[in-house]
Structure 1
């Protein structure tokens, strides 16, 4: 191949293709011209060949040309009239006009259908559902909320769930299909657009919805966006107080008050980070609590219901506990709407009150006397429980760390210590109020925890437990759980070196990483997004239970606890669960289940947890078993210990 000025010459094929592409790019008319030339270049020669090779074709030249014209015209649908040249031209004109009209009509129809399909795929059409659940926004809780709402409606014809978020409709549908499966996709309607735009929000019929759920995103302006969505909803509803109940979540508690105002009188606003921080703090002294709460919050098994209390009217609350063979009574909903969780046994059941019960469904709340199942001789005598100070190690820091420390301070025993180790300088946690003296000494130290050798140099022997907090999602990390998993591996290796298991409470962002977490059976793995999603789904189904969950996750008051079985039933005694309920009632508690440690260590699917067992269930209770109760865990009065220091005793 030749060259010009040292450069290789472009092949003729490439140059012709380049010129052809440039010609096509000029205009639509040029493209149509090339199509006509191409068609004629193929049709005319082939038509002539067909005529000249046909033995029955005319002998004269004019006859053969007329025959070739007729074949070409029929092929191109231009009309096949023969005769004078004028007649043939007019026939061709009519054929071209007909072809133009038909092709234009086909093009218009095709374009219209394509535009309509594109509009539908963009998710901008109006939703005409009634009684649907409307979910606004997209976050890591969305698949959990939608999946649980579908599971809650499984026994009956499910209501439609309408999702509006500023994301591509196809992407949303694909993400939800992976979570709920193809069978439930028919009741999920996705629409794309900013929920904070009143015009877009009006497309999903919020006025006719049964419940509106507003999800917080993971961005730095997530709470401000929640406020804008609530204000847009208020504008669409035009401030009417008869609109649907609204459930929203914010991450910063400073936004909770304005969000409540924007949500209206039927609004409920959760603090997502506070709920997560409270659970982390509760799990520190209650191994296995995260598994119990996960089982309690999802709709796969038993959940809280409201039951009729007419049979117990004007009687004490304590009598209701042993009159439900297949459900566990935990509280009262008074006629004025107040929620009493684990009230005193002598509390009167007023007319119009309803019982708060843990049951599989509404049909499992029947009333039947179970007192004959109680064997008083099997109930253990009261014994004091050890309650000394604790020493904890916190590895890592994020936006929820100050809230965790605040929760630990409010429930810690006097003399307790928390050592905080983080990569960088830690911003100071929230200081306790002057009227609430600190119960806990908090000490800080900065170490490069991203280096595995630093993690392996930590001394865990002095600590009763370890809290591992991963980085925030807004820190620019695509996989914030990576560091957490590496830290857990280091802690596991330290356990193997010392031969001593350490109780670990860790927070993960992605639930898919939970099976990967290398922790022992006495540790808790908390997936913050899933926890908040489960809680929102429960409240969306029954907003009257919102105060119940609020108290369960509060720093003080009644909460879910795991207590040793020997505090309720004599060791190795055979007893019914009715005996456990009676023993818990003597202690001012409501028993709702138990955990078998022999199954917890074998890695069974339910981790040995059984909530709401039948009162007649009989088994042998050993010292390692635990009873799940709703009780008040009150710490002793605070002592005078110093405020947080800047020193630390973590590491070697």
Structure 2
């Protein structure tokens, strides 16, 4: 048993605590008594020690009173009793007024400082960007907004999340660094509370991005935040609202909550489709990375008034430093890679890839085309494929469904996962089953070398490595750890086989991509970063939503990497304008190329987006032309 403290200091503290609980009147009384006990004796000592003090008792008593009055701010006046009493009363009133005023000012300043420190004050900005929610997506979104606002003098990003303001400020400073001309303002509060949302002034913002906090309830949190936003501020046509949900079953509810002018991305659908496209076209992930960030050239919509009445095919060669990829009709319909003979209307806009929205300027002269270098390649007969899927998560059924739409009948897919085969077959059947693709399920741990050794991995045309959550509803941070271990084994298989494997890897955290034991320029799909880039692009230009909807839809046009030898003669210097013309004759829009010899050299890894059409280039074996086309 602990010995009870019973010393004098403990008893004194105990009595003081009991005194504090009696309230303000008792505290004032005790404070007055303590002051008098100290001030009066000290004043007596001062007067009696003063050689110039009066000699009589009455005079010294008056001097003591004056000393006490000056010390306690009571004036110390002498004279008739009524005069002294009134002077003391006025001094007490003045003292009370000044004390109350100081107290009110101090309290107000403390409350203001506390509100600023806790992030509860209102952001008074206009045409700023608002981020609602907190997750790892915040950092790439803020970084891309900073890059997009680099040419603006005063730009602001307001972040509202149910987190400590100091914590958010520190995390953004650590992960983003210098924000240049963009001010990042953090505020604390629940994003699902309509009374809290005005702290970041969403009513005067140019764009509002709703981020998912992750976890099993992340999508429901996004939907609730969208409803709170609609309740807090009236809908406005000039404000962009962008959100993202993970599971397709929540997409419809989120679209309804976002309203007619909102844009909701379905993360699982987009990631699954891009994984499938990249698995069949190595290097495609690098192309999307170049197009979606603000560091290089990206998509813009520019007026087509100067080209009104001309054909789309003529517009393809009208620019020297801008690549044309499609049209947005006056009615709002987006068409990527339309037929070359389509006429451009006066109210149409061109979908272009250029450095900035003011660099899409038609050239004075059409760049020259080398007719002798153009190749009229015939259609390639697709062949059956052998594909390998390592891992299983909630997106895997969508991946299988998408593969079944792309491959030739007779193609096969082997799936290896810790989940049991019956569960996986049931999941695939739930999304529609397979018609062209023969799917075989294998139970095994992909992080074990013997599992991969028994698969003959080099015999597959393509390998997809996705986060294996073992059948759980949500993938945690440890799934990337398992992916890194599997990549180590695949690297060993690659070295033993003496050739490169076509591997596309899915990761949840972009920081782990830097740890991946793979060759430079390997294909990675980082779901969080990909969706962050898409959301930022739409937030900066709402009209790009239609462009991305078509690029990531199951039908319509998409981006392809096709052999350069199908367009121009290899080993010959040709202008990129010649490549554009060759692609035009195949009803495609050439937007760049990839050189195999530079595939291992960063940061572009051989990818050239929107090259100058006048600059010559020589293609060799393994080089590819990047086109926007159907199929």
TM-score by length of 1: 0.83
Instruction: Please say if 1:305 is aligned against 2:300.
Output: yes
Q: Distance in 2 between matches of 1:500 and 1:37?
A: 92
Residue 506 of structure 1 deviates from its aligned partner by 1.7
Residue 210 of structure 2 aligns with which residue? Answer: 214
1:33-432 to structure 2, matched below 5 A, reads 74-81=70-77, 98-126=94-122, 128-158=124-154, 160-181=156-177, 183=179, 187-201=183-197, 205-236=201-232, 244-368=239-363, 371-380=366-375, 382=377, 387-425=382-420, 426-427=423-424, 428-431=426-429
CA change 1:86–1:235 in 2 (3 A) is: closer
Residue 461 of structure 2 aligns with which residue? Answer: 464
Partner deviation per Cα, 1:580-628 (whole Å, 9 max, x = no partner)? 22222233321112223333313x2233322111111123333243322
Residue 24 of structure 1 deviates from its aligned partner by 6.1
Residue 326 of structure 1 deviates from its aligned partner by 0.8
Instruction: Please say if 1:591 is aligned against 2:590.
Output: yes
SS in 1 for 2:538: helix
CA change 1:329–1:68 in 2 (3 A) is: same
SS in 1 for 2:147: helix
Residue 420 of structure 1 deviates from its aligned partner by 1.8
Q: Distance in 2 between matches of 1:225 and 1:64?
A: 77
Residue 408 of structure 1 deviates from its aligned partner by 1.6
CA change 1:9–1:324 in 2 (3 A) is: closer
C-alpha contact 1:284 1:505 (8 A) present in aligned 2: yes
Partner deviation per Cα, 1:412-445 (whole Å, 9 max, x = no partner)? 23332222222233443333887x9522222222
Partner deviation per Cα, 1:98-127 (whole Å, 9 max, x = no partner)? 444433321222112222333444545555
Residue 522 of structure 1 deviates from its aligned partner by 5.2
Residue 534 of structure 1 aligns with which residue? Answer: 533
SS in 2 for 1:365: coil
Partner deviation per Cα, 1:547-602 (whole Å, 9 max, x = no partner)? 21112122343222223333333332222221222222233321112223333313
Residue 142 of structure 1 deviates from its aligned partner by 3.2
Residue 613 of structure 1 aligns with which residue? Answer: 611
CA change 1:200–1:527 in 2 (3 A) is: same
C-alpha contact 1:150 1:158 (8 A) present in aligned 2: no
Partner deviation per Cα, 1:129-167 (whole Å, 9 max, x = no partner)? 444444433443333334333432332345544444444
Residue 523 of structure 2 aligns with which residue? Answer: 524
SS in 1 for 2:428: coil
Q: Which moved more, 1:168-177 or 1:347-356?
A: 168-177
Residue 625 of structure 1 aligns with which residue? Answer: 623
Give structure 2 stretches of 5+ with no counterpart: none
Q: Distance in 1 between matches of 2:128 and 2:547?
A: 25
Q: Distance in 2 between matches of 1:330 and 1:378?
A: 23
Q: Distance in 2 between matches of 1:321 and 1:448?
A: 50
Residue 502 of structure 1 aligns with which residue? Answer: 501
C-alpha contact 2:393 2:475 (8 A) present in aligned 1: no
CA change 1:598–1:243 in 2 (3 A) is: closer
SS in 2 for 1:103: helix
Q: Distance in 2 between matches of 1:505 and 1:499?
A: 19
Q: Distance in 2 between matches of 1:554 and 1:194?
A: 34
Q: Which moved more, 1:119-128 or 1:592-601?
A: 119-128
SS in 1 for 2:319: coil
Q: Distance in 2 between matches of 1:126 and 1:31?
A: 37
Q: Which moved more, 1:27-36 or 1:372-381?
A: 27-36
Residue 439 of structure 1 aligns with which residue? Answer: 436
Q: Distance in 1 between matches of 2:468 and 2:22?
A: 55
Partner deviation per Cα, 1:260-309 (whole Å, 9 max, x = no partner)? 33433323322111111111111112222212111101122211122333
Q: Which moved more, 1:268-277 or 1:513-522?
A: 513-522
Residue 639 of structure 1 aligns with which residue? Answer: none
Residue 641 of structure 1 aligns with which residue? Answer: none
1:470-489 to structure 2, matched below 5 A, reads 470=467, 475=474, 477=476, 480-489=479-488
C-alpha contact 2:520 2:600 (8 A) present in aligned 1: yes
CA change 1:612–1:403 in 2 (3 A) is: same
Q: Which moved more, 1:528-537 or 1:255-264?
A: 255-264
C-alpha contact 1:394 1:467 (8 A) present in aligned 2: yes
CA change 1:11–1:86 in 2 (3 A) is: farther
C-alpha contact 1:506 1:524 (8 A) present in aligned 2: yes
Q: Distance in 2 between matches of 1:56 and 1:572?
A: 113
SS in 2 for 1:594: strand
C-alpha contact 1:419 1:444 (8 A) present in aligned 2: yes
Residue 83 of structure 1 deviates from its aligned partner by 8.2
SS in 2 for 1:461: helix
Residue 32 of structure 1 deviates from its aligned partner by 5.9
Residue 578 of structure 1 aligns with which residue? Answer: 577
Partner deviation per Cα, 1:20-66 (whole Å, 9 max, x = no partner)? 66446534557667766776777677666666766656667777776
Instruction: Please say if 1:493 is aligned against 2:462.
Output: no
TM-score by length of 2: 0.85
Residue 3 of structure 1 aligns with which residue? Answer: none
CA change 1:185–1:169 in 2 (3 A) is: farther
C-alpha contact 1:488 1:519 (8 A) present in aligned 2: yes
C-alpha contact 2:154 2:182 (8 A) present in aligned 1: no
Residue 193 of structure 1 deviates from its aligned partner by 3.5
Partner deviation per Cα, 1:55-104 (whole Å, 9 max, x = no partner)? 65666777777666655654454544568999989877765554444333
CA change 1:98–1:372 in 2 (3 A) is: closer
C-alpha contact 1:432 1:438 (8 A) present in aligned 2: no
Partner deviation per Cα, 1:334-374 (whole Å, 9 max, x = no partner)? 23222110112222223432221111123322222654522
Residue 528 of structure 1 deviates from its aligned partner by 0.8
CA change 1:8–1:392 in 2 (3 A) is: same
